[in-house]
């Protein structure tokens, strides 16, 4: 069973509102996630900038100290010299010890340890590069003894002196949330001076690419599904890097993301309940009716009018349906009250007349005097407008073999209507009084109207076999028709018994399901070809 238009409108409204609500959830969740992700990237960058600033200061201080030592001091281990070196180390912010080497590259003494009992063979440097004409050697993760404790730190050597960076400073430079501190070699390539032990080789290799070493970048990689941050330390060869896979990011932010997802769901529900009334208005037939009154949506159906004496099809009544979304059919009883309330009756009449004339002239064989009946709204029966409408749609070939019949309901009689109808009759149009017997007509008004046909309402025909009071009025209606010189058309004939009774009473024409239901113009064409005595 087809749902009424209002029920379909509510269903569509709920569906559309649900889709918008879901979209609001998805969009807001995406925006919230992007906000958290962007905030996370910003924090990664801030941490790296802080580290980069400190690294830059430490590197500058270390190099300046070593250049000054090589320029000012002799590489000798006597007490006065070591005391001066201790003062130099004490005067720095980031150095804990200064060492002196012999010409063979062996450590002889340091400002903290004093003269070593045996010269210490230094390990080969992790990296060597040149700075202002000086060879700079760097050893990373060197184990040193300071104050009775053993620490790992970075040692930088220029000439016969080295500087040991305070391991506590390196502890702040190498926090657990940073994955790699990389030194970029002058000749190309790089060397990680620190790498998070938990970091897989895959990520270390990713962070070692040339692009990561040449410029700072902070972004989310859709290729690797990970947050990547790489900060190049200005005026040094150091690069600070971090990678956070998406899964780890979600675990880190599960609490805030859960709250934001709940907020997105609440937002989606709010959007749903706010937007549903709007969609209901948009999907209501009252809102969409004007868009449906077009050639594409209006469907013309044709119910044959039959000569009861010969069963010949002598004409048809044009009926209207609307095709809604998805081909859903809307019937006149559902749509006409809305059209009347919206003052769109002339718009509908124009569309039906244009489409019907086009279909009938193109779909039916030549049949002289074939009656085409249009149900026009009473206020739309205006001589000039109707003639312009119909005659502008007639084919230019001159094959104007239809007889147009305009049906008027008897409840619509007004003084102006008689004038308009008189002009239309004079122009060759026929007039029918539709649903006769259901209104308040009198013989005087019917005479003034002088119709060509009176149409007996189907409610009288339905009651004929039961011999009700209503059906007993049929002879009276026929008598009025004879008095005004009108033929009679009976509507709603559903069986042969009704046809025979009406024929005996003198009714000339009839229509109803006994003969044919409303049909398309193609079906009407086939029916006319198959019927006997069709052409008058």
pLDDT per position as a tens digit, 122-179: 888 888 888 888 899 988 777 776 666 677 788 999 999 999 998 877 666 655 566 8
345-363 helix and 383-393 helix, angle to the nearest 10 degrees:
30
DSSP assigned state of 515: T
Q: What is the pLDDT of residue 6?
A: 55
**What is d(CA 362, CA 357) in angstroms, rounded to the nearest whole number?**
8
DSSP assigned state of 327: G
Sign of CA dihedral 502, 507, 509, 510: negative
* Per-residue pLDDT reduced to its tens digit, 320-330: 999 887 778 88
Q: What is the pLDDT of residue 470?
A: 62
Secondary structure E strands in 185-246: 190-195, 217-221, 226-232, 238-245
3-class secondary-structure state, position 58: helix
* Per-residue pLDDT reduced to its tens digit, 438-458: 655 556 678 888 899 999 888
Q: What is the pLDDT of residue 15?
A: 80
Q: With CA atoms as reference, report the closest residue to 477 among 489, 492, 467.
A: 489
Reply yes or no on whether the pLDDT at 280 is more than 80. Answer: no
3-class secondary-structure state, position 265: helix
Among the ranges 300-309, 419-428, 467-476, which has the highest mean pLDDT value? 300-309
Residue 534: band (very low, low, confident or very high) from pLDDT cuts 50, 70, 90: very low
Reply yes or no on whether the pLDDT at 319 is more than 70. Answer: yes
The pLDDT > 90 percentage for the chain reads 40
Residue of higher predicted confidence among 220 and 367:
220
Reply yes or no on whether the pLDDT at 535 is more than 60. Answer: no
Residue 295: band (very low, low, confident or very high) from pLDDT cuts 50, 70, 90: very high
CB-based burial, 293-317: b 16+ in 10 Å, e otherwise: beeebbbbbbbbbbbbeeebbbbbb
Q: Can you spell out the DSSP letters for 370-418?
A: EEEEEE--GGG--HHHHHHHHHHHS-TTS---EEEEEEEEGGG--HHHH
| Residue 393 contacts residue 357 (beta carbons within 8 Å) | yes
Reply yes or no on whether the pLDDT at 338 is more than 80. Answer: yes
**What is d(CA 324, CA 109) in angstroms, rounded to the nearest whole number?**
97
**What is d(CA 228, CA 203) in angstroms, rounded to the nearest whole number?**
10
Q: What is the pLDDT of residue 369?
A: 85
- pTM of model > 0.95: no
Mean pLDDT of the chain: 85
Q: In degrees to the nearest 10, what's the CA dihedral of 361, 362, 368, 374?
A: -40
Q: What is the pLDDT of residue 1?
A: 45
Q: What is the pLDDT of residue 536?
A: 41
Reply yes or no on whether the pLDDT at 13 is more than 80. Answer: no
Among the ranges 64-73, 131-140, 201-210, which has the highest mean pLDDT value? 64-73
**What is d(CA 227, CA 220) in angstroms, rounded to the nearest whole number?**
4
The domains of the chain are located at: 5-250, 285-529
* Per-residue pLDDT reduced to its tens digit, 212-268: 877 888 889 898 899 998 888 887 888 888 889 999 899 999 999 999 899 999 988
Sheet of 217-221, strand order = 190-195, 180-184, 238-245, 226-232, 217-221
CATH topology for 285-529 is: TIM Barrel (3.20.20)
| Residue 461 contacts residue 438 (beta carbons within 8 Å) | no
């Amino acid at each position: 069973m087809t749902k009424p238009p209002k029920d379909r409108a509510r269903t569509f409204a709920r569906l559309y509102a649900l889709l918008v609500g879901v979209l609001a959830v998805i969009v807001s969740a995406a925006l919230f996630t992007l906000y958290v992700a962007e905030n996370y990237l910003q924090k990664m960058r801030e941490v790296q900038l802080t580290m980069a600033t400190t690294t830059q200061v430490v590197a500058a201080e270390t190099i300046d100290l070593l250049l000054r030592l090589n320029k000012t001091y002799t590489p000798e281990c006597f007490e006065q010299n070591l005391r001066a070196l201790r003062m130099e180390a004490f005067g720095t912010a980031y150095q804990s010890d200064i060492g002196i080497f012999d010409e063979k590259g062996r450590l002889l003494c340091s400002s903290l340890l004093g003269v070593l009992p045996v010269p210490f063979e230094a390990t080969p440097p992790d990296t060597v590069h040149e700075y202002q004409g000086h060879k700079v050697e760097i050893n990373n993760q060197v184990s040193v003894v300071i104050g009775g404790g053993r620490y790992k730190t970075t040692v930088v050597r220029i000439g016969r002196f080295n500087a040991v960076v305070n391991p506590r400073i390196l502890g702040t430079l190498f926090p657990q949330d940073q994955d790699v501190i990389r030194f970029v070699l002058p000749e190309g390539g790089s060397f990680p001076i620190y790498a998070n032990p938990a970091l897989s080789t895959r990520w270390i290799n990713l962070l070692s690419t040339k692009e990561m070493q040449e410029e700072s970048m902070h972004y989310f990689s859709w290729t690797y599904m990970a947050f990547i941050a790489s900060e190049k330390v200005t005026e040094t060869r150091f690069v600070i890097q971090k990678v956070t896979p998406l899964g780890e990011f979600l675990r880190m932010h599960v609490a805030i993301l859960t709250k934001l997802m709940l907020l997105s769901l609440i937002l989606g529900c709010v959007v749903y309940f706010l937007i549903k009334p709007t969609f209901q208005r948009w999907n209501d037939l009252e809102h969409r009716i004007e868009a449906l009154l077009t050639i594409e949506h209006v469907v013309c159906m044709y119910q044959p009018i039959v000569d009861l004496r010969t069963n010949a099809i002598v004409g048809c009544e044009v009926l209207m349906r609307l095709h809604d979304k998805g081909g859903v059919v809307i019937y006149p009883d559902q749509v006409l009250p809305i059209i009347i309330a919206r003052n769109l009756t002339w718009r509908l009449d124009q569309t039906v007349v244009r489409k019907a004339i086009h279909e009938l002239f193109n779909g039916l064989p030549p049949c002289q005097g074939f009656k085409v009946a249009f149900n026009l709204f009473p206020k739309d029966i205006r001589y000039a407008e109707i003639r312009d409408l119909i005659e502008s749609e007639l084919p230019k070939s001159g094959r104007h073999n239809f007889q147009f019949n305009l049906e008027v309901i008897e409840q619509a009689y007004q003084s102006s209507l008689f004038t308009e109808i008189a002009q239309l009759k004079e122009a060759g149009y026929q007039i029918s009084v539709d649903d006769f017997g259901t209104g308040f007509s009198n013989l005087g008004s019917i005479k003034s109207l002088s119709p060509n046909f009176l149409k007996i309402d189907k409610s009288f025909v339905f009651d004929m076999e039961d011999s009700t009071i209503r059906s007993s009025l049929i002879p009276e209606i026929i008598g009025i028709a004879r008095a005004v010189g009108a033929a009679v058309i009976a509507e709603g004939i559903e069986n042969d018994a009704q046809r025979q009774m009406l024929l005996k009473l003198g009714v000339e024409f009839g229509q109803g399901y006994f003969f044919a239901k409303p049909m398309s113009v193609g079906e009407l064409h086939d029916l006319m070809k198959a019927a006997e005595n069709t052409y008058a």
